[in-house]
Structure 1
């Protein structure tokens, strides 16, 4: 398919998703970049306070995120050059603000047994560990061995303690790990990455196609099914993607809700103006009505396009 045809197809699809004109799509998709600075709370107190002071000095216009402690938004800066050396030291983590949402939604508690299914490069797993002060049993997994090795190295830099680091394919995790092993599961899946597309640079669409989306939706559904079996009764699983097509977001979640009556979608207890509800139908396919409790993040200067569903498994007493 020609590049122009691909762009046209993408614009048509996103216009349907957001219910806007195709001509308006270009204004939304201007590429994801770092917009948040998370100060690592696993640092000793003196280093933590010094790091906060430096962040405030180097990024005077950055402002705290009211729903994510130890974190600042800095949407107008493209470079982060003055802050980057502290990232190499494990003092701050720089990422797009949308990536803050899944760890906060997960709601990990001290003592929890937690699985991050597709952990690399590590930002979300390290954030989860920091939120509970390393007081958890954290299992890191990434199917790509080179990425997993780098993940282990970065965990050391950021002072993150983990119990296991494995390279199981996400869709077959239940073949390698006992059922009902985890209180919390983070499933940030491989996807078509539409939230990161920059229509000023059409090359960012070189791997995008509707055929690829169709393949992903079945893979993602298998990943959810495997993760379901690993979640304990009463546990919480967060499913997230950096894409916007309903096939990769609402479709897999709706399927898992239909298959397992002990699951439901719980709304997040924080929000931003760009957080929209999940959709309940797409191109003639109906989804579970509870998906209105999921969050689709519209692309803005601060947040990349994203999707998050907080899925809760009934406890034994609720069954």
Structure 2
């Protein structure tokens, strides 16, 4: 099938990955690391700390369902989130004085990470049902410094030009990294439709960023049309955009590709990071961008 052939061209190892564990992080709005780990140990769990973050832990995949029944989880002391997604949010160097925009925020996991580090976060979500679930998520986890907006992220820059110190855009995508086994909903038409949307969103995100500020563009898909091509598009449209290198503390990743089929991309996209699925990590793409 076309999907599998495309993925093989990117990296055949993607199709061989096995998920054997899951990750969660401490919700600092509710508790300290020591408090949470002590409670989890009393409940019979021995989480393993991730090397690159003191507040992120993993457990074998078979503990995923039992964990959600524990007091630790029901009291919102932890947040279950994919390790690749957590790493992407941690890759944005957020300062305590920063105002951060999360441009496609639902369900809100990355906004919660950003809210623990920033002065305030503006979380934008266009879908009404997802927006209200996101608001409830923020309230349950005790994040009081997040402002929420039920708006279309493509047009945020018009009302907020160069307002934000940092921007995070985990763009809507074809979600190829979530395909497990049978492919039912994937199509090139879907990929092209998302690529068009992503290009509009990344321009809005960049225009909303202050000069000197930084942003993350991320997806949970493999398609170069939704990843490198979008970054290449931004670099063409905005000469003051610069791709920065990302320090990656694990080995299951590769740099961005500069050629895909008949398309050639700016060599700067080599600095992008494509996380390959492995163990706790799901497939992911991220680029760190500075506004000069």
| TM-score, structure 1 as length reference | 0.85
Task: Map 1:1-319 to 2 at 5 A.
Answer: 8-18=1-11, 20=12, 26-28=15-17, 35-45=22-32, 48-56=33-41, 58-60=44-46, 62-74=47-59, 76-84=60-68, 85=70, 86-130=72-116, 132=117, 135-175=118-158, 177-199=159-181, 202=182, 205-314=183-292
Contact 1:34 1:95 in 2 (8 A): no
Contact kept? 2:131, 2:150, Cα under 8 Å: yes
Are the counterparts in 1 of residues 156 and 204 from structure 2 also a CA contact under 8 Å?
yes
What secondary structure sits across from 1:53 in the alignment? helix
Q: CA 1:121–1:25 in structure 2 vs 1: closer, same or farther (change >3 Å)?
A: closer
Counterpart Cα distance in 2 of 1:81 and 1:26: 25
Compared CA separation, residues 157 and 221, structure 1 to 2 (3 A) = same
Query: Which structure 2 residue ranges, 5 or more long, are not aligned?
Result: none
Report runs of 4+ in structure 1 exceeding 6 Å deviation. none
SS at match of 2:104: coil
How many residues align? The count is: 289
TM-fit CA distance, 1:103 = 1.2
Paired position in structure 2 for 1:317: none
Give, in whole Å, the separation in 2 of the partners of 1:68 and 1:25: 25
Q: What is the DSSP-based 3-state SS (H/G/I as helix, E as strand, rest coil) of the residue aligned with 1:35?
A: strand
Structure-2 separation of matches of 1:136 and 1:39: 19
Normalising by structure 2, what TM-score? 0.93
Unaligned runs of 5+ in 1: 1-7, 315-319
- For residue 248 of structure 2, give the secondary structure of its aligned residue in structure 1: coil
Q: CA RMSD in A?
A: 1.8
Cα 1:158–1:298 change in 2 (3 A) is same
Structure 2 Cα separation of the partners of residues 160 and 33 of structure 1? 31
Partner Cα distance (1:15, 1:170) in 2 = 33
Q: How far does the alpha carbon of each residue in 1:160-191 deviate from its partner, in whole angstroms, 9 at most, with x for none? A: 1235211111222223x320010011100110
Where 1:81 maps in the other structure, the secondary structure is helix
Task: State the 1:38 CA deviation.
Answer: 0.4
